[in-house]
Amino acid sequence: MKNFIGILLTISVFLIPFDTFAYVVTSNRTEDNLQVREELIDDDNIEDILNTPKVLEKEKIYDFAELFTNDEKEEIKEKALSYIEKYNMDLVIVTIDNNNKINSKEYAKDFYDYNYFGTNDTYDGILYLIDMDNREVYILTTGKAMLFYDDFRINSLLDKASASLSLGYYYNSVNTFIIEASNYVELGIPESNNGYEIDSNGNLVKIKNVNWVITCIGSLLIPSIILYFLISRHKGIKLATIADTYLDENSINYGEFKDTYLTSYTSRVPIVRSDSSGRNRGSGSSISIGSSGRSHGGGGRKF
């Protein structure tokens, strides 16, 4: 009888479906081996680094809260890799059910910075965090992504992607986020960030344009030269001392004119502040600095 029960238990193990949930592979950080880029380490952020999970950067989806099945994770990863290849910016999806940071924003910044995420020398990329501990969603942008996703577009992404979260449709939320994030890159950099660029340190800075100086000098210099020659040609002309010298009395007719005020009319034209694509709306990208010293854009909300 005992042997029979043992056989049944053994068989039941193999009958359990494996397409359920899988844990995120992490490695331990130590003070002797922080496993982070050297330039990000200082005396003030070692504790932040130690409290940030070290993950395999190639996975792109880190489901600590176990919100997705394996099939869903594979689909999300495939879409993330497609985004990365097409737009040359990183895309990271994170879910947590235990936030050991001050808030979702700080978790997102530390997770991105203290793992080897980001493309190019400016670590371009976007991260989508679902924080089940605080019931909050946060979108983080870094490097070139700060140009493409201004505050208006971040809020629009949150509107569309977070709608499914309160209903428990976590896969739908992530799928919507990737689709809409891709659409905004296709639209290009919004007008609110025109005149800005990402410098070599990954900071969003105003473009220094010296062309306007040359234009101003040229616009003043050319008329000055022309005026100089005109004045030089008329130096021999003697100036009159009284106005009558220039007056031809036979060419002037004096008369009486009268203005009659009838009414007034005021027209109002609405100021167009934005179009449906978000190209004209917003005040640019709001920037904050992480404990690593890097600049980030983004935003979040409760769900």
139 located within any domain: yes
- Could you give the CA distance from residue 89 to residue 172 in angstroms, rounded to a whole number? 22
Q: Whole-number mean pLDDT of the chain?
A: 82
| pLDDT class of 23 with cuts at 50, 70, 90 | confident
Reported as half-sphere exposure (CB side, CA atoms, 13 A), residue 55 has a value of: 23
pTM as predicted: 0.72
32 belongs to a structural domain: yes
Query: Residue 118 domain-assigned?
Result: yes
**Residue 266 above 90 pLDDT?**
no
Q: What is the mean pLDDT of residues 287-297?
A: 97
Q: Which residues contact 175 (CB under 8 A, 6 or more apart)?
A: 75, 76, 79
Calculate mean pLDDT across residues 38-65: 97
The answer to whether residue 212 is domain-embedded is: no
Q: What are phi and psi of 136, to 5 degrees?
A: -140, 145
| Residue 56, domain member (yes or no) | yes
* Residue 239 located in a structural domain: no
In a domain, 121, yes or no: yes
Q: Does residue 177 surpass a pLDDT of 80?
A: yes
Q: Which residue has the tokens 């201004």?
A: 150
Q: How far apart are CA 205 and CA 285, in angstroms?
A: 11
Which domain covers residue 50, as residue numbers?
A: 21-205+284-302
Q: Which of 19-33, 95-109, 135-149 has the lowest mean pLDDT?
A: 19-33
* Pairing outcome for strands 196-198 and 288-289: unpaired
In a domain, 222, yes or no: no
Q: What would the pLDDT profile of 207-216 be if each residue is shown by its tens digit?
A: 986 454 455 4
Give the separation between CA 126 and CA 123, rounded to whole angstroms: 10
CATH code for the domain in which residue 74 is found: 3.10.310.50
pLDDT at residue 18, as a whole number: 39
CA 287 vs CA 100, 108, 109, 132, 145: distances in Å: 23, 14, 12, 25, 12
pLDDT in tens, 205-240: 999 864 544 554 556 656 556 665 555 665 555 555
Q: Residue 42's pLDDT band (boundaries 50, 70, 90)?
A: very high
Q: Given a cut of 90, is residue 164 above it in pLDDT?
A: yes
Q: How far apart are CA 100 and CA 97, in angstroms?
A: 10
CA distance 269 to 155: 28
pLDDT top residue among 57 and 11: 57
Sign of the alpha-carbon torsion through 116, 86, 172, 73: negative
Report the percentage of the chain scoring pLDDT > 70.
68
